[in-house]
Structure 1
């Protein structure tokens, strides 16, 4: 599809078919959503009707095919924009020389006017071809849009210019035709690039390998995932992403962070369901019975829901569609009617044609087209300097109207890595000796908690003897033997108790309920306790306080309640607006239940569904690739300070947008009224159009000057 008019044309053709209840054609994702009786909405029934308009309807395409299609569209537009810019530059230069009276005599002006028209030919024929094709398609659907108006404006300028040249006049309007084509091509190219970027959110959801070991013919055989049916037995590889949903046949430790956001691995007993996208921990493989095949996995449902959320039309989009549905036909009617009305009023053919051209030039949406994009560009540039980058220009308007904000905890309000907050040790053990023993034990471990302890103990000068792992339980702890030092245990209280380690000198209660507790013991018993927390950013509390002054703010997390309650206390938030142990689907439902428009800030793969469900999704500084690609904006600085500043700039930008739209509306109303009741030369119409464009440009520039 070429523009939103194309989407409206397809909707218009299909909406009135018997059996169709509702239809929505979403231009940015080139997706048709339809609801109705099954026989009326099959692909075989709809495709031939839409083909008659010049469009191709297919089954929902894979992301790779969508990327290829949009890359081809980008090249298509870039080539035409290049041709339009290169040849149009000389057309504009020739016209300026004529308008400015810089040429020595009328004969030279007439020759330069012909040169102006010659340079305009590639722009009008090649660069402008997509507008003519789209205009013809929307006319077939009886839904004429801006492309029809642009086509008439371009060719009217050409016809009037040729007529004037034939009569010996040099006051031609090839520059008007060139300007319309080049400006609109540039806008369409930017729009296409934004659509291309938006698809990447679907690509980075965790995708396991394409084959799995399945039990067939009394042996384990490598089998394509597509061939594995529910009920089959498969073998999960240690340390690999789980490929299918199923039920474990033996207990195992699983990292579920990609789907739940939990900061620590979970122990899954035998018979517990696990989902594709999680990761099996430990050093041993685990058998599983498949419950959901490819296409039916929870991961597939998440991806489909993301596409559904992305393809929905917001209120601003619907309002714009309604506006375009009547604006273009009204302007088109005025432009077409100008010539016969002029002839009926007794005007000559040339004068009536010039009057009609003036109406079409005035009616062309140059000022309206510049009003919002220029303000958006200036506002987004200011927000970029404040540390918030917009990936979707349309999100700027929604940011200005946000009423509710949902914030993920881990990695958004916090730094995303554990930090030692307190420790205690056995009587008679010095801090330096404790650090030395701890450094020796954790050196070879890659567990996040072990790495945090290693950072704390790194000041120790102790040598690191060779270590032999005797027993390891993933997610719980490890028993190892250090050469010349004896045996040591490091892990949770549950792990040390199961190993028979004496914990007589340690308090039975954890002093930090929200912290992760790690115990160290040697052959004599308990040696030390360490309490680690994911600490909030220094400005988290102040930023949340500022946001709560203007918005309804809640905190969402997949983490345990104790950690969420502790974070709420540090931020000064009430417990009833902080939600713990929420799955990705539950987070998305909560976001959708907030007063709209909504904003969600999240950093993980598990947050991608909520980012898509919110009216605006924002990825923080240290966000994962999936969150960054799925968000409409992302922060360039740690913490939320840039978000607070960016929301203020978004509100100021929207005010300028409204002012610009008002200015352009006043211009169109006055100009159309004047050109209908009195003769206005096309040159004056062009100058009026330039003046209106200049007014919205200068107004938008105030955003860049704003302190």
Structure 2
């Protein structure tokens, strides 16, 4: 999907495509390496988890027709950006593909490992039986090294062809060397075979690939959770309403929408309506839109009447579509940590490959026999295989994630843990994240002599006849077991201001704002404003005798919010971003102790995302609404609170499992400790690889010793990571 974006948006000549056929990050690096040198390509990024290729450059160079043939020669397939449904189907197919190979590898590999253990343990009665069992071990390894291991060999060949050899090349050589050396030893009468080494490499790596694929599958649901209206709508054609697919509806057409449904296309209202705009603005209460105002797809119509709009944006050009496209753009970009890892992998695999391949001829030149030189080469490959490096970060991550889970934070993206440890700035959404998410009565005043039950009974009769969210909150407060709804006659209804009703027993009743009361000529006594506050929404009630009561509703802060924000301010740059009105935002900022310059009100999803990107990186954004999905994608780490919407949950890399943000304070400390262990593990594994490679080059080390050394290295990082589980 090529895009020509306006100034200020990401790039002027960009394209997003789906890249199919990748097996691992080495494939992504191979494609990047080949295309980055193509004339006219300014920048390129291949995002393996979402199978997305982002490219920037001259339009004729980055077109699908220009890039697809080049990529096809590498063994991959480039297509237009696939719909989410197709992406899910592709990942489901990959999961079945991996599961089958993992099942074959586990079943047959189990017998290979059992035979090898019997040989290593000396549990067999004589060398002849050991030799026969060694052949049995090799026979059971055949399905593993052929069928189960085939994806590694194919990926290795592709990256070699692209002149960007990766870890799959090293794995392929290690497996093949273990099999060849083992067969050679069997033919010479030795039972010291290494089929188990080949089987272990394949099965463990297949398991890792399957988990990786399942995580990628889960990550796609962030886009699924964005509001998606029906695929068709009633459009005025000729002299009647006809149901037509959205793809066929052009700007200028008139469409009819049923109440309580999602708006299908961006357009202009032909009549006034109440609209819940939380999906795009984050406003804590729905808004009343007048005739002629613009509404957007994904917002929900309220009320009980059908609404007609004049379409302004067709399918694919809606604001909702642009939000989804920007999310894909953010996902395709790489952070600094990923870029650093790519640079490390770019030289690690070739160096290890060179040492492994060179070991055999060097051994022959030094006068070793063919068998001894082959065993030396296998030892180098086993030692060079960075198992400890591969375990260093995941094991620490697993232990740290377990601690975070106990503290009330669930991670959906393992990479988020390392980034959380380096967070510099935290952006917090207000409504639903720091607050309860719905209006609640905070204070009220009544006319002298009016008892609370009487006030509640009158308020219930008036408020239950209104669909306004503030009226509904008052209805919940005033409801009791004895109250019943009485049909009222509506004399005057001013949307967004108030209503004048006539009740059979109470007479005329007025319910609404101060502005509405002034228009009705109802005078308010001084005590009517005694409980007012800048952030509260005021609702007034009056009967035929005059003012009856004043009610003040606020979206109150959660219980632990103030203490948690204070704790975060001690170590981080904290900001509050909201689509709510300024009075509510700045009142909350005073309670939280946040400076006014760190609080932003009435911000659209796009503006909030830009603010997040402007904060000191790495950034953490905590938001609960559909309107926060773009900011969750734009931040280095997106986190959804306990009561978050489905869209926020699917778009976030982490979830808070308890109400409030108190667990965020302890979770960030755990993340820092986890990263410290990660650095220690990487240091230990680097020392192991350096020393082991040095020893294997200058002296002969049996493959069994090399395997034991690899296990010892893995055990050291495992025990170090286990310290996190014991951490108080």
Q: TM exceeds 0.5?
A: yes
2:666 is equivalent to residue 666 of structure 1: no
User: Partner residue of 2:319?
Assistant: 298
Offset from partner CA, 1:591-634 (integer Å, 9 cap, x none): 00001000000000000000000000000000000000000001
CA contact (8 A) 2:392 2:685 kept: yes
- Range that drifts further, 280-289 or 90-99: 280-289
Is the alpha carbon distance of 1:496 and 1:87 closer, same or farther for their aligned partners in structure 2, counting shifts above 3 Å?
farther
Is the alpha carbon distance of 1:484 and 1:19 closer, same or farther for their aligned partners in structure 2, counting shifts above 3 Å?
same
Offset from partner CA, 1:75-108 (integer Å, 9 cap, x none): 1111111221222122112111211212211111
Secondary structure of the residue aligned to 1:126 is helix
Is the alpha carbon distance of 1:153 and 1:495 closer, same or farther for their aligned partners in structure 2, counting shifts above 3 Å?
same
Give the superposition deviation at 1:338.
0.4
2:525 is equivalent to residue 468 of structure 1: no
User: Partner residue of 2:216?
Assistant: 195
Residues of 1 paired with 2:643 and 2:549: CA distance? 32
Is the alpha carbon distance of 1:466 and 1:31 closer, same or farther for their aligned partners in structure 2, counting shifts above 3 Å?
same
2:584 is equivalent to residue 550 of structure 1: no
Is the alpha carbon distance of 1:197 and 1:563 closer, same or farther for their aligned partners in structure 2, counting shifts above 3 Å?
same
Matching of residues 438-587 of structure 1 within 5 Å:
438-443=459-464, 447-458=468-479, 460=480, 462-468=482-488, 470=490, 472=493, 475-498=496-519, 500=520, 502-505=522-525, 511-587=532-608
2:366 is equivalent to residue 345 of structure 1: yes
- Range that drifts further, 596-605 or 279-288: 279-288
CA contact (8 A) 1:506 1:526 kept: no
User: Partner residue of 2:138?
Assistant: 117
Structure 1 counterpart of 2:660, from 617, 635, 639: 639
User: Partner residue of 1:64?
Assistant: 85
Normalised TM-score (structure 2) = 0.94
Residues of 2 paired with 1:284 and 1:473: CA distance? 16
Structure 1 counterpart of 2:352, from 310, 321, 331: 331
- Range that drifts further, 222-231 or 184-193: 222-231
Is the alpha carbon distance of 1:476 and 1:97 closer, same or farther for their aligned partners in structure 2, counting shifts above 3 Å?
farther
User: Partner residue of 2:266?
Assistant: 245
Secondary structure of the residue aligned to 1:23 is strand
Is the alpha carbon distance of 1:706 and 1:306 closer, same or farther for their aligned partners in structure 2, counting shifts above 3 Å?
same
Secondary structure of the residue aligned to 1:416 is coil
Offset from partner CA, 1:373-413 (integer Å, 9 cap, x none): 11111110110010000000110010000000000001000
Give the total of aligned pairs.
705
- Range that drifts further, 13-22 or 500-509: 500-509
Matching of residues 349-364 of structure 1 within 5 Å:
349-364=370-385
Residues of 2 paired with 1:526 and 1:550: CA distance? 50
User: Partner residue of 2:16?
Assistant: none
Offset from partner CA, 1:404-425 (integer Å, 9 cap, x none): 0000001000111222111011
User: Partner residue of 1:655?
Assistant: 676
CA contact (8 A) 1:127 1:181 kept: yes
Is the alpha carbon distance of 1:153 and 1:262 closer, same or farther for their aligned partners in structure 2, counting shifts above 3 Å?
same
- Range that drifts further, 235-244 or 407-416: 235-244
2:189 is equivalent to residue 168 of structure 1: yes
Secondary structure of the residue aligned to 1:25 is strand
Residues of 2 paired with 1:477 and 1:528: CA distance? 14
Give the superposition deviation at 1:491.
2.9
User: Partner residue of 1:270?
Assistant: 291
Secondary structure of the residue aligned to 1:38 is coil
Residues of 2 paired with 1:463 and 1:286: CA distance? 33
Secondary structure of the residue aligned to 1:568 is helix
Give the superposition deviation at 1:372.
0.6
Normalised TM-score (structure 1) = 0.97
CA contact (8 A) 2:28 2:46 kept: yes
User: Partner residue of 1:35?
Assistant: 56
User: Partner residue of 1:16?
Assistant: 37
CA contact (8 A) 1:436 1:461 kept: no
CA contact (8 A) 1:339 1:353 kept: yes
Offset from partner CA, 1:275-304 (integer Å, 9 cap, x none): 111223333334333221111111111010
Is the alpha carbon distance of 1:461 and 1:331 closer, same or farther for their aligned partners in structure 2, counting shifts above 3 Å?
closer
Structure 1 counterpart of 2:633, from 592, 598, 612: 612
Residues of 2 paired with 1:465 and 1:17: CA distance? 73
Matching of residues 141-290 of structure 1 within 5 Å:
141-290=162-311
Structure 2: runs of 5+ lacking an equivalent: 1-21
Offset from partner CA, 1:506-565 (integer Å, 9 cap, x none): 668672120111222223332111101111111111100110000000001111111011
2:386 is equivalent to residue 365 of structure 1: yes
Residues of 1 paired with 2:546 and 2:136: CA distance? 95
Give the superposition deviation at 1:156.
0.3
- Range that drifts further, 224-233 or 173-182: 224-233
- Range that drifts further, 95-104 or 163-172: 95-104
Give the superposition deviation at 1:251.
3.6
CA contact (8 A) 2:278 2:627 kept: yes
Secondary structure of the residue aligned to 1:32 is strand
Offset from partner CA, 1:172-219 (integer Å, 9 cap, x none): 001110111111111111111111111001011111222223333244
Secondary structure of the residue aligned to 2:78 is coil
CA contact (8 A) 1:426 1:505 kept: no
Is the alpha carbon distance of 1:452 and 1:286 closer, same or farther for their aligned partners in structure 2, counting shifts above 3 Å?
closer
Give the superposition deviation at 1:481.
4.3
Structure 2 counterpart of 1:400, from 421, 425, 450: 421
Give the superposition deviation at 1:490.
2.7
Give the superposition deviation at 1:45.
1.9
Secondary structure of the residue aligned to 2:439 is strand
Secondary structure of the residue aligned to 1:171 is coil
2:109 is equivalent to residue 88 of structure 1: yes
Offset from partner CA, 1:295-337 (integer Å, 9 cap, x none): 1111111010011111110001111111111111110010001
User: Partner residue of 1:588?
Assistant: 609
Structure 2 counterpart of 1:434, from 451, 455, 459: 455
CA contact (8 A) 1:236 1:242 kept: yes
Give the superposition deviation at 1:244.
1.4
